[in-house]
Amino acid sequence: MVDVADKLAYFQAITGLEDPDLCTEILQAHGWDLELAISSFTSSNPTSSSTGNSDSEPRQPLLRTESASGSGSGVVAAPPPGLAWKLVTLPISVISGSLGLISGAVGLGLWAAGGVLSYSLGMIGLGSGRGGESSARLVSVSAAASEAMDFVATFEREYGTRRPNFVGEGFMDALQRSRNAFKLLFVYLHSPDHPDSPVFCERTLCSEAVAAFVNENFISWGGSIRASEGFKMSNSLKASRFPFCAVVMPATNQRIALLQQVEGPKSPEELLTMLQRVLEESAPVLVAARLDAEERRNNMRLREEQDAAYRAALEADQARERQRREEQERLEREAAEAERKRKEEEEARERAAREAAEKEAARARMREEKALSLGEEPEKGPNVTQVLVRFPTGERKERRFHSTATIQSLYDYVDSLGCLEVEDYNLVSNFPRVAYGPEKRSLTLKEAGLHPQASLFVELN
């Protein structure tokens, strides 16, 4: 919030009134509404103020580099001093507007109250509404650009198209444009009621030489002192006589550098001489600024290239590291899988060996049990059967059995020998061929026709 002292100082800077009591009374009468008070003051005073300036004794401008007299007035111009960079502090409206250009937010309220807003802010929707429905603040926000465009249209209508190319935007935007273009800002403040203004515009400002020189070397901004921003700039630049021209450039610490001030009518040659001199004297500063900006751009581009190269190298390193990790993880997975398979195979072998050992032990026990179940081999006799068993390997085994022994006893005998690796087999006789399968194992040897002797072979199923 702007306090009372700031409002009073701001109102004095805008209106040029030096009596603080009078300014306080005006502000109190408008409820300390800066916008309303300034609007009321500027709507009633610009013409009278400009007329007073032109008819009364000239005021000494603050820090102007040249004080020129009107043509034919008989007043000799003071000899201009050597060009020094002289700083003119703008009113708080211009300062806050400059801050607004930098930060986009700081000082926007004060800038709106002063009515000096950049055209760019107006274009993003902060301009006045249609049909007078917008607030007073929004109306004043768009005033600077609107006034500048109205001035350009009026000037072209009255003096033609051969003229300085005044930009259709507020003063601060024009100043920023000159900064970006590394050019000086040529300012023309127009007093429509001054008798010297038409001749100066027609013969000097719109002369082919002056217009071409200004358009080539400067950014131009113009304003009428009848309009709000033109009137405020005339107070800011302390314009004491008209026609009034100035050459300014941005400076540091929220100030502008006033390089040349031209007051009163001038011939094209005189104006060109002044502009050429200030351009030559300011050339080193502009060149240094351009070189500095170019160096900053090159440094920024170099940093961006270095950053891009660093990012690319970093991404490549990260990709290689990621690939290395993925390869390592793959190898670890493969090693883990191989170890798992090895353990499974080892466990399977151990299990198979254990099962085989168990099976062999079981078979051994079975052979032993069956051998015990056979009893002692009987001696030869009429009730004893001689049995010959041939194995697939060609091996032969022979044993005597009681004729009352069952065929199952023959199978137990074969099993007890351990000559076969399989358990599924049949005992078969050749002549005649008879297979003694499970259904005949309960028969005795005599019943099966194998007594007194038999020759059998093992047939694997």
The DSSP result for 407-451, as a single string, is HHHHHHHHHHHT--S-S-EEEEETTTTEEE-GGGTTSBTTTTT--
Is 394 inside a domain boundary?
yes
304 has pLDDT over 70 = yes
Average confidence (pLDDT) over 102-120: 37
Distance CA 356, CA 350 (A): 10
Taking residues 166-190, report their average pLDDT: 92
Of 302, 323, 341, which closes a domain?
Answer: 302
Does residue 241 belong to any structural domain of this protein? yes
6: containing domain: 1-32
Q: Are 194 and 54 in contact (CB under 8 A)?
A: yes
Does residue 257 belong to any structural domain of this protein? Answer: yes
pTM across the whole model: 0.44
pLDDT of residue 149: 93
pLDDT at 253: 65
Helix, strand or coil, per DSSP, at residue 118: coil
* Highest-confidence segment of 70-79, 90-99, 117-126, 137-146: 137-146
Task: For residues 21 and 146, state if they share a domain.
Answer: no
pLDDT of residue 133: 34
Distance CA 178, CA 185 (A): 6
198-222 CB burial, b ≥16 within 10 A, e <16: eebbeebbbbeebbebbeeebbbbb
The CATH code of the domain that includes 415 is 3.10.20.90
Kindly state the average pLDDT of the residues 167-187.
92
Say which residues have a Cβ less than 8 Å from residue 401's Cβ, sequence separation at least 6. 378, 384, 385, 387, 409, 410, 413, 445
Domain annotation covers residue 62: no
CA angle 227, 117, 129 (to 5 degrees): 85
274 lies in the same domain as 167: yes
CATH of the domain at 258: 3.40.30.10
Task: Indicate the range of 72-76, 121-125, 242-246, 452-456 predicted with least confidence.
Answer: 72-76
Beta strands at 256-263 and 244-250: parallel, antiparallel or unpaired? antiparallel
**Number of Cα atoms under 13 Å in the Cβ half of residue 359:** 10
User: In whole angstroms, what separates CA 374 from the centre of its chain?
Assistant: 96
161 shares a domain with 290: yes
Mean of per-residue pLDDT scores for the chain: 78
13 — pLDDT class (breaks 50, 70, 90): low
Residue 254's pLDDT band, with cuts at 50, 70 and 90, is low
H or E element in which residue 72 lies? none
Last residue of a domain, one of 302, 320, 345: 302
Do 179 and 295 fall into the same domain? yes
Task: Express the helix, strand and coil content of the chain in percent, nearest 5 each.
Answer: 55, 15, 30
Task: Kindly state whether residue 260 falls inside one of the protein's structural domains.
Answer: yes
What's the pLDDT at 442?
92
Please indicate, yes or no, whether residues 412 and 294 belong to a single structural domain of this protein: no
Strand order in the sheet with 396-402: 396-402, 384-390, 453-460, 425-429, 434-436
188 and 292 housed in the same domain: yes
Same domain, 295 and 413: no
pLDDT value of residue 286: 87
CB atoms within 10 A of CB 352: 11
Cα separation, 451 vs 379, in Å, equals 15
pLDDT tens per residue across span 392-444:
888 999 999 999 999 999 999 888 888 887 888 999 998 888 999 899 989 99
Query: Looking at the 3D structure of the chain, how many domains does it have?
Result: 3
The least confident of 125-129, 224-228, 241-245, 356-360 is 125-129
Q: Which of 251-265, 338-352, 439-453 has the lowest mean pLDDT?
A: 251-265
Residues 157 and 22 in one domain: no
Q: Are residues 410 and 297 in the same domain?
A: no
Does residue 57 lie within any of the structural domains? Answer: no
**Domain-embedded: residue 273:** yes
Cα-based angle 198, 188, 95 (whole degrees, multiple of 5):
150
Q: What is the pLDDT of residue 142?
A: 59
Report the pLDDT value the prediction gives residue 217, as an integer from 0 to 100: 94
Whether 87 is in a domain gets the answer: no
362-376: per-residue pLDDT in tens?
888 888 888 888 888
Residue that the structure tokens 């032990």 belong to: 361
Same domain, 276 and 412: no
pLDDT value at residue 24: 87
For the ranges 31-45, 139-153, 237-251, 424-438, the lowest mean pLDDT is seen at 31-45
